[in-house]
Structure 1
Amino acid sequence: MSFATVRLGFLHKTIQNYNTLLTRCAGYKSSISLETLYPNSSLKLTTPSFNPDPKEKFSGFIPIEKLDITYSASSGPGGQNVNKVHTKVDLRFKLSEADWLHPDIRQKLTELHAKKLTKEGYLIVRSDVTRSQQLNLADCMRKLREMIRDAAVTKKEASPETQERIRQRHLKAARMRVAIKREESLKRAMRQPPVLDL
């Protein structure tokens, strides 16, 4: 038997051992795997379908396909990376044509954010707080969601009695502040040595 034959047989045996090891590793299940922890579960991960409640004005869902999203270079420190990577996010949509928003919310958004609207009627939300496109996009979506929720909530008007109570509380606080200032001023004046007139 030649050396080459022995060597070939050794390589063949090594490859067989490696293949059996791979199949064993692929078949390994941890004692804390999902199948062990939840044996009766189907283990099928699904994304729930979105069915908005018709009674709600805004459910929190924003259809991203109806938004115009553009990326540009961020300002501020960051070295050459700022020049190479476009991480600033501009999120815009035409407020008058946003059929996914309740008409009352659209009207309120127009009133509240008239300064953010362009001449064409686009509402623009910007973010460049991080050096990541995805994080800036998430920040824009959060800002937009907060703007819509603020417009969706109708603020209660305080009753005249409550308003008077609040006014009295503010007046009392102002009087206390003036009284404390006078006390402090008197303390500082008492610390001064007496002035002798000759």
Structure 2
Amino acid sequence: MRITDTLFIDESELEERHIRASGPGGQHVNKASTAIQLRFDAMASPSLPDAVKARLRRLAGSRMTKDGVIVIEAGNARSQERNRQDARERLATLVERATHAPKPRKASRPSLSSIRKQKAAKAQQGRKKALRQAPKVED
């Protein structure tokens, strides 16, 4: 399965199980196993670099087991083939998102004028509240 121009996942690394779909569909739902459960052992995959595996663990969330196996269930379509394609597309999208390294954050400072404006606003707020106080009694 092709993810990017340089990243491929071998078909032997994917495991598909046919399960019963839930939801509407009448008797067809009760008889046919049209939903697909796609399993991919990402942490043991030789196809993925370590950096992609680390980002994939964070992105997959609850779809990844403690052992590092990504489980994707697709059962929206009535056709088994369409569910298979949907599950593979979702896996490919997830792995493709993990290939992009996040842009590093650059620390920035507020400008001198914005600091002055903020201090002036705080001073104005303080003067406003000071005027609300009762006058002090002098001895």
TM-score category by the smaller chain?
0.5 to 0.7
Q: Distance in 2 between matches of 1:159 and 1:107?
A: 22
Shift of 1:84: 1.1
2-side partners of 1:83 and 1:115: how far apart?
Answer: 27
Report the AA paired with residue 148 of structure 1. V
Q: Alignment partner of 1:96: what SS?
A: coil
Q: Which has the higher contact order (CA 8 A, sep 6+)?
A: 2
Aligned equivalent of 1:76: 23
Could you say which residue in structure 2 is the equivalent of 1:108? 55
Equivalent AA in structure 1 for residue 46 of structure 2: D
For 1:72 and 1:90, the matched residues in 2 are separated by 7
Residue 40 (structure 2) aligned to one of 93, 97, 104? 93
Q: Say which structure is richer in helix.
A: 1
Q: How many residues align?
A: 108
Shift of 1:65: 2.0
Structure 1: stretches of 5+ with no match in the other structure: 1-49, 165-198
- Answer 1 or 2: which has greater strand percent: 2
Aligned Cα root-mean-square deviation (Å): 2.4
Aligned-pair identity in percent equals 29
Other structure's SS at 1:69 match: strand
Q: For 1:91-170, list aligned pairs within 5 A.
A: 91-157=38-104
Rg larger for: 1
Contact 2:18/2:37 (<8 A) preserved: yes
**TM-score, L = length of structure 2:** 0.67
**Distance change (3 Å), C-alpha of 1:114 and 1:160:** same
TM-score by length of 1: 0.48
